Amino acid sequence: MIDKMTNYHMTPDEFRKQGKQMIDWIADYYENIEKYPVLSQVKSGDIKDQLPDSAPTESESFGQIMSDVNSIIMPGITHWQSPDFFAYFPANTSGPSILGDLLSSGLGVQGMLWATSPACTELETRVLDWLAEMLQLPEKFKSTSDGGAVIQDTASSAALSAVLAAREKKTNYQTNDSGCLGNLVAYISNQTHSSVEKAIKIAGIGKNNLRLIGVDENLAMRIDLLENAIQKDLQDGLIPFFVCATVGTTSTNAIDPLNEIGNICLKYQLWMHIDAAMSGTAAICPEYRYILDGIELADSFSFNPHKWMFTNFDCNCFFVADRSVLIKTLSILPEYLKNQATESGAVFDYRDWHIQLGRRFRSLKLWFVIRHYGVNGLRYHIQEHIRLAQQFAGWVRSSEEFDLVAPAPLNLVCFAHKNGNDFNRKLLETINSRGKMYFTHTVINGQFVLRMSIAQTNTNEEHVRQAWENIQETAKELMDVY
């Protein structure tokens, strides 16, 4: 029963006790994670049906809550942190990141303005400048020049911020005042992530003013088709304003030609945004930095440490070459937020750099991760993931039964069994239903394609080797049945 003397609150002593047990719980989870089926095997409603219809009237003990976590919640978890997780894209965590996130929760800081916690803003600025250096970004993206960066929740929000800034720059900040006229046109490839289409819809550009540019045999945007589309729109009296180039598409890891796209943006005065949500991380390794060649021509760039850089969701880093455009687009200053530091102009107020007002102290976890691993530690793991993916691609290439169906430049391998779409679908479903590993699919030119995304924090050579054996054996088994 609760102790009324504590006002229902958890006492510091109780918090200390439960907190230590929680850390133990998480450490045990990581030690035993390979014992769980990677893909949750519950059916829809299974979890909800075990939860009461209404909230408890009286206080319940922490022990009761954790007991329900174990019995009700855990069966409904798909284990993204399992080293046998090869689905979608990584969403990896790490010890230092979890602890940084916990500290952020403990401090409970609301970092909307510099004045609401100077450390929250200044650490973020510094760590993002570190990242700019780690990725060898052009000077213009650093806070020490005209640009700078901000941590956003997701690559989707970053894309929306980029579209809005591009819109305002092109219309001389008139759209913010008068609304959209329906004559701005944006360009992406037919492989671009759906979040950019969503941004175009939200920003009032209109889906009819979004051109999906065709791709070449490597699934990268075709420059000739891009330029043709821009010229046609100009002839029709429309106003081209925005291109999104992708480094590492979600479907197949294709890399758009940044230099060529950048030159077209320069020629026609379009905003160039680069979405490198997962693959951007690879550029911290000098031998993979080439994937960002041409970024000098970009107006904005974003990547997600919450995918492949051992930093808990959410953590997107959004860089702009000219912060004044972004700030002028998104800044609103109501009376209740006015303060001397803001008025002096000497500080960043990050609420002017993204959609929402409130913000967590997310740079803590990023700072912890970069300091814990060091640049060399991060490089080591990225290089290792890419080595394992390349080894897997080699096995596929030399196999009689499977084909590689897209170039595998980094850590994602797209492949298919020679027996056709239905067989590949059955193969995927069978393997995932058995829980030993989890991987997903895409469709390329009508072909059902299997995807191995090799980037989970703790995946090593043995996991990848076992996955390949599992795939081959299950395929043999299904061949006997069919």
- Contact positions vs ligand PLP (CB under 6 A): 89, 154-156, 193, 195, 246, 248-250, 275, 277-278, 304, 316
Minimum separation from the CB atom of position 97 to ligand PLP (A): 16
- Closer by beta carbon to ligand PLP, 153 or else 233: 153
Angle between helices 363-397 and 95-107 (to 10 degrees): 150
- Are 184 and 239 a contacting pair, CB within 8 Å? yes
- Closer by beta carbon to ligand PLP, 410 or else 471: 410
DSSP class per residue in 184-195: EEEEEETTS-HH
Minimum separation from the CB atom of position 52 to ligand PLP (A): 32
Sign, CA dihedral 18-24-30-36, equals: negative
Minimum separation from the CB atom of position 462 to ligand PLP (A): 27
d(CA 81, CA 195): 24
Minimum separation from the CB atom of position 49 to ligand PLP (A): 29
d(CA 302, CA 318): 4
- Are 444 and 219 a contacting pair, CB within 8 Å? yes
Minimum separation from the CB atom of position 166 to ligand PLP (A): 17
Minimum separation from the CB atom of position 192 to ligand PLP (A): 8
- Closer by beta carbon to ligand PLP, 154 or else 311: 154
Distance of CA 442 to the CA centre of its chain: 18
- Tallying the residues shown for the chain, one arrives at 482
- Closer by beta carbon to ligand PLP, 233 or else 275: 275
Minimum separation from the CB atom of position 466 to ligand PLP (A): 26
Strand-pair category, 271-275 with 239-246: parallel
- Closer by beta carbon to ligand PLP, 62 or else 88: 88
- Closer by beta carbon to ligand PLP, 146 or else 197: 197
Minimum separation from the CB atom of position 278 to ligand PLP (A): 4
- Closer by beta carbon to ligand PLP, 166 or else 427: 166
d(CA 87, CA 99): 26
Q: Which residue has the tokens 């701005």?
A: 184
- Closer by beta carbon to ligand PLP, 116 or else 191: 191
- Closer by beta carbon to ligand PLP, 159 or else 270: 159
Of 426, 422, 406, 402, nearest to 414 by C-alpha is 406
DSSP class per residue in 118-131: HHHHHHHHHHHHHH
- Are 274 and 303 a contacting pair, CB within 8 Å? no
- Closer by beta carbon to ligand PLP, 354 or else 417: 354
- Closer by beta carbon to ligand PLP, 193 or else 451: 193
275, β-bridge pairs? 246, 302
- Are 129 and 264 a contacting pair, CB within 8 Å? no
Instruction: Kindly state the tokens that stand for 464.
Output: 């990848």
Instruction: Kindly state the tokens that stand for 140.
Output: 């213009």
Strand-pair category, 239-246 with 184-189: parallel
Minimum separation from the CB atom of position 73 to ligand PLP (A): 23
- Closer by beta carbon to ligand PLP, 261 or else 278: 278
d(CA 251, CA 444): 8
211, β-bridge pairs? 187
CB neighbours (10 Å) of residue 179?
9
DSSP class per residue in 170-226: HTTT-HHHH---S-EEEEEETTS-HHHHHHHHHTTS-GGGEEEE-B-TTSPBPHHHH
Minimum separation from the CB atom of position 45 to ligand PLP (A): 26
Q: Which residue has the tokens 């133990």?
A: 24
Is the peptide bond preceding residue 314 cis, with omega within 30 degrees of 0? Answer: yes
Minimum separation from the CB atom of position 261 to ligand PLP (A): 15
Minimum separation from the CB atom of position 319 to ligand PLP (A): 15
